[in-house]
């Protein structure tokens, strides 16, 4: 089977980024929620067959330190993954009655947050934390109606606290949010004088430009093909609003989490490709400390330097979905220096497909040197006009095209 490409009009980047000097390229790092998250009912965000029942454990000080050490040991830190972030679950659910400051859960983080930040900084990493624009953080609802660890009404106190702890990144969640809290927190962070990357879940697209360095464009993801492909498509509609200083974020990576149904390397390559060309933040959401089967390419996929280079391209232009045919998709975009990126996605889980692409319709009458990014191979013959690309089941052919 084959599919032919039609062209969508180019979309101009019209961003006016948050004026804090951060996020000139999308952030790379780790967030524990997709692999270690425990929801307000005590359920696992991900049931991991590598772990004993129930298949997950709440993240804590030792978990975060182990992840940080693995980032260094595996070379992922040096590949660009510099942030190690906390998600919901680091507080007791309450504030100090006298100071109004958040109370750290000392069972999970016995040395406190500032100490943990110091450890990560000493490893050459940066440290992120979680808060919400609400009265209660999402997972703290399990503590009952008196829980009060949301940042609404406490933005200045929390921003000052985060800065004093050495925080470098804030994920600011919704959890029945108060819309005005996002701007109040932005201003409170800026007033601390500490550079803190500001990522929000709530405002999106035009309303997020100038407000944050990254914004969620979708609801929570899970470790299925349908979930991440749907979110890549939803994220596409906000392309005009993203660029250096402010990025669309279709949630965190599930690369390495494709356990059930039987998903693996091909799906991980596809997700990594779609997030990279979208210039989305690349936040690892799998347990990189696991002793994985030799056939598991998770670490190689996450650490692929050529894919990361596309994500970190200084032009900062989000590639667009330009064609769908059945289960196949074609995505295309521009890179710095007149280079282009092309991704052909096979949504069929059982059969390889031929995807036919008219390069001249997408990029004009030009001839390119094609580089297969995942194979690390440059094609012997230059390409122009119409090309036919064979793509394996649930895989993606990712090409960097150099004029």
Active site residue ranges:
173, 220
CA–CA distance, 158 with 184 (Å, rounded to integer): 11
Q: What are phi and psi of 401, to 5 degrees?
A: -110, 120
Q: Is 332 left (phi over 0), alpha (psi -120 to 50) or beta?
A: beta
Rg (CA), the chain: 21
For residues 136 and 150, the answer to whether their CB atoms sit within 8 Å is yes
Q: Record the tokens describing residue 386, joined without a space.
A: 């119409």
What residues have CB less than 8 Å from 193, skipping those under 6 apart?
A: 163
Residue keyed to tokens 């490409």: 5
List the strands of the sheet with 320-325, edge to edge. 320-325, 328-334, 340-346, 396-402, 369-372, 377-378
Q: Record the tokens describing residue 338, joined without a space.
A: 């007149």
Which residue from 168, 177, 221, 219 is spatially nearest to 197, judged by alpha carbons? 168
Give, in degrees to the nearest 5, the angle at Cα 221 between 13 and 252. Answer: 60
């Amino acid at each position: 089977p084959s599919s032919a490409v039609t062209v969508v009009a180019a979309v101009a980047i019209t961003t006016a980024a948050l004026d804090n000097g951060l996020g000139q390229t999308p952030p790379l790092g780790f967030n524990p929620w997709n692999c270690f998250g425990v929801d307000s009912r005590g359920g696992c965000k991900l049931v991991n067959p590598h772990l004993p029942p129930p298949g997950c454990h709440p993240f804590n000080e030792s978990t975060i330190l182990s992840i940080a050490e693995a980032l260094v040991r595996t070379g992922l830190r040096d590949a660009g993954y510099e942030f190690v972030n906390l998600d919901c679950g680091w507080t007791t659910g309450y504030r100090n009655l006298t100071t109004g400051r958040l109370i750290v859960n000392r069972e999970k983080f016995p040395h406190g947050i500032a100490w943990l930040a110091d450890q990560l900084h000493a490893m050459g990493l940066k440290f992120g934390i979680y808060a919400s624009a609400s009265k209660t953080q999402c997972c703290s609802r399990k503590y009952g109606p008196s829980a009060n660890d949301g940042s609404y009404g406490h933005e200045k106190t929390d921003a000052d606290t985060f800065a004093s702890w050495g925080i470098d990144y804030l994920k600011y969640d919704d959890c029945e949010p108060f819309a005005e809290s996002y701007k109040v927190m932005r201003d409170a962070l800026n007033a601390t004088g500490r550079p803190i990357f500001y990522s929000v879940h709530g405002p999106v697209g035009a309303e997020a430009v100038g407000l944050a360095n990254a914004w969620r464009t979708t609801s929570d993801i899970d470790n299925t093909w349908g979930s991440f492909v749907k979110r890549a498509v939803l994220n596409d509609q906000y392309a005009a609003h993203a660029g250096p200083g402010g990025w669309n974020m279709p949630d965190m990576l599930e690369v390495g989490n494709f356990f059930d149904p039987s998903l693996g390397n091909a799906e991980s390559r596809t997700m990594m490709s779609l997030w990279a060309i979208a210039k989305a933040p690349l936040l690892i959401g799998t347990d990189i400390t696991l002793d994985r089967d030799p056939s598991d390419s998770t670490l190689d996929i996450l650490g692929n330097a050529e894919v990361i280079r596309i994500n970190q391209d200084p032009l900062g232009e989000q590639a667009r979905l330009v064609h769908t045919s059945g289960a196949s998709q074609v995505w295309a975009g521009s890179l710095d220096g007149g280079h282009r990126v092309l991704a052909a996605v096979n949504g069929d889980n059982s059969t390889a497909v031929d995807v036919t692409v008219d390069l001249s319709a997408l990029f004009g009458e030009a001839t390119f040197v094609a580089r297969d990014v995942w194979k690390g191979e440059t094609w012997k013959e230059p390409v122009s006009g119409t090309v036919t690309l064979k793509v394996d089941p649930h895989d993606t052919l990712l090409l960097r095209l150099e004029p």
